[in-house]
Amino acid sequence: MKFITVDSYEKLSRQAANIIAAQVISKPKSILGLATGSSPIGTYKELAKKCDAGELDFSDVTSVNLDEYVGLPVENDQSYRYFMNTNLFEHINIDINRTNVPNGCAADLEKEGADYDALIESLGGIDLQLLGIGLDGHIGFNEPDDVFTKGTHVVTLDPSTIEANARFFASEDEVPRKAITMGMGAIMQAKKVLLIANGKNKKDIVMQSFYGPITPKVPASILQLHPDVTVIYSEN
């Protein structure tokens, strides 16, 4: 594992974007695993800048996102599909038909999960998976549990996650209680993993995840078993 500490969110964002850019330059047909949340916003802005400057070409890239709230349609500005469109896809030259986000409104969510895993497999797996981390150690929406779940599945969000994500909604009541998330299988099979975290409040869970025991109670701790992980952390 490579653990990089930087002293600002801007540096974190630049470094993360450079790693993603290197991936896309070395393999234009990369399969990128992408994340939502506030942490990657700066990274996405940097990628858009590089694309604008003609330094980066996403036209052959395929993306697969980690997760989506259950029951939020694409047009809802809190859906993760909406987040990806507005924070990244509309600002780079990716083919929107090659961007994938689990469908949280699918009639049969179990089938949606199986189909999503089949899609990732058919793409040959993920080349680079970008991750944030929740305050409870969740990656994607893999919440603390008694087991690590392999496939894409529906989860009931932890009260602490609902509380943390309430800042994006008009009120806590509006935060969906369920989500569909890629499981640990596809994340662990990604060739490279890049986890970004910023803020003093994330320090403890980052340390627990990468230097504590490997346990499904701290979902991100499974990444200690991944052969190619880069963590970029900024206290600010």
Chain residues binding ligand GLP by CB under 6 A are 35-39, 66-67, 132-134, 140-141, 161, 165
- Nearest residue to ligand GLP on Cβ basis: 132
What is the residue type of 105? Answer: C
Q: Please report, for residues 118, 148, 152, 182, 210, the alpha-carbon distance to residue 185 in angstroms, rounded to integers and kept in the order given.
A: 12, 9, 8, 8, 18
Is the CB of residue 194 less than 8 Å from the CB of residue 128?
A: yes
Pick 27 or 105: Cβ nearer ligand GLP: 105
Kindly name the residue from 46, 112, 117, 143 that is annotated as catalytic. Answer: 143
Active-site annotation holds for 95: no
The CB-of-54 to ligand GLP minimum distance in angstroms stands at 29
CB 82 within 8 A of CB 75: yes
Q: Is 153 a known active-site residue?
A: no
4 versus 57: smaller Cβ distance to ligand GLP? 4
- Check if 67 is active-site: yes
* Residue whose CB is less far from ligand GLP, 48 or 175: 175
Active site residue 91: no
Whether 35 and 66 have beta carbons less than 8 Å apart is answered as: yes
Which residue of the set 46, 112, 117, 138 is catalytic? 138
Phi (first) and psi of residue 131, to 5 degrees: -135, 145
Q: Which of 46, 67, 68, 127 is catalytic?
A: 67
Minimum gap (Å) between residue 100 Cβ and ligand GLP: 15
Candidates 60, 115, 136, 145; catalytic one: 136
- How, if at all, do strands 62-65 and 99-100 pair? parallel
Minimum distance, C-beta of residue 59 to ligand GLP, in the bound complex (Å): 26
Tell me the three state secondary structure of residue 166. helix
Residues 6+ apart with CB under 8 A from 173: none
Return the number of the residue (67 or 127) whose C-beta is nearest ligand GLP: 67
- Number of helices (H) and strands (E) in the chain: give both, helices first: 7, 10
Catalytic residues: 67, 136, 138, 143
